[in-house]
Amino acid sequence: MADDESTLQQQVWDFVYAYDAAYDRAAQAVGLSAAQACLLGQLTMGERSMGELAVELLCDPSNVTQLVARLEARGLVTRVPDPADRRVKQVSITPAGRREHRAVRRAFDFPDDRLGRLDEGEQLQLSSLLAKLLDRPGQAAAGG
């Protein structure tokens, strides 16, 4: 009786658990931590300052310093002072960094393995539900 009422919450927990585990495996298969892969992922969408990365990664700037330092030492990102405000450093992903990140994406089998089980209609359904959960327009939100 106490089981039924928690089923959806438990399913969501299990889903997130599986997703996180798959991402960790993918990053580690490429020799990166999840945090490093995540940072590289942000940079694939364009350069960012250290502070912007801290906001996006939900962590302290001093942590970003460490993460970027390790990635820079491996030649996966670069860090150059912003000419407009030399306190700021703009971080960019290098070609090698892009290759590593693509390798993570390839190793990250969760989307294909799991989302691939849904047919097109189900995927639209899921997209619509997620849009509500995220306060964003999903691909299936128009017209309900």
Interface residues toward a second copy, by CB under 8 A: 4, 7-9, 11-12, 14-16, 18-21, 58, 111, 114-115, 117-118, 122-123, 125-127, 129-134, 136, 138-139
Contact 127, 140 (CB under 8 A): yes
Binding site for DNA (CB under 7 A): 33, 35-36, 49-52, 54, 57-70, 79, 85-89
Contact 32, 103 (CB under 8 A): no
Which option in a second copy, DNA, none does residue 19 bind, with CB closer than 5 to 8 A by kind?
a second copy
Q: What is the nearest approach in angstroms of a second copy to the Cβ of residue 13?
A: 9
With both helix axes pointing from N to C terminus, report the angle between 7-29 and 95-107 in degrees, rounded to the nearest 10: 130
By beta-carbon proximity to DNA, the closer residue of 89 and 101 is: 89
Q: What is the nearest approach in angstroms of a second copy to the Cβ of residue 122?
A: 6
Which option in DNA, a second copy, none does residue 143 bind, with CB closer than 5 to 8 A by kind?
none
Q: What is the nearest approach in angstroms of a second copy to the Cβ of residue 5?
A: 9
- 71, exposed or middle or buried, with CB in 10 Å at 0-12, 13-18, 19+? buried
Q: What is the nearest approach in angstroms of a second copy to the Cβ of residue 117?
A: 5
Q: Tell me which residue has tokens 């000419």.
A: 83
CA torsion 19→20→25→30, rounded to 10°?
110
- Determine the Cα–Cα distance for residues 9 and 51; give it in Å rounded to an integer: 34
